[in-house]
Chain A
């Protein structure tokens, strides 16, 4: 399974945009990029995913580099409720549906 690298922690001010980076230099052509987040004392929850093109949904945007070796999760206006650990995960569309979690980025939002 291809691995991902994320910063251990980041801070943001409330109501400002947040850019969470993820490096996946060994990504294969059939790997989807998934982002999940884990709020305190909860199981992880789905945020967004993509393959090649940038993606938007109600929670966030996902910007994928042209060579697909990195991606960035964008929270347009961080709120205190966005404080969580954010995980970037690669899933091979040809493989099993299991996820291999990396260390994730702990996002702290300052009021």
Chain B
């Protein structure tokens, strides 16, 4: 069974600082990987996804993530965060052949002035 671990439940940072939100997955077969963001009192929206090809994926709002197969990781990064990036971030994995998307428990990013 596939699972997703987001190592940090909360990440506080100052505005304009870089940030990395960590995500590890467990799967013995090929996977598709996603990062979704949930702003307060809203639904989730896609930040970026890795399906195949280049391991560095660029998404919306200046975010990027790197797929590392040997470390089974898909960490999300942004070089300089804004107050408006304060939100809950969810890593998700879909194992090839499965219809189901499995979400991590989320990381709450708080950007302070």
A in complex with B: no
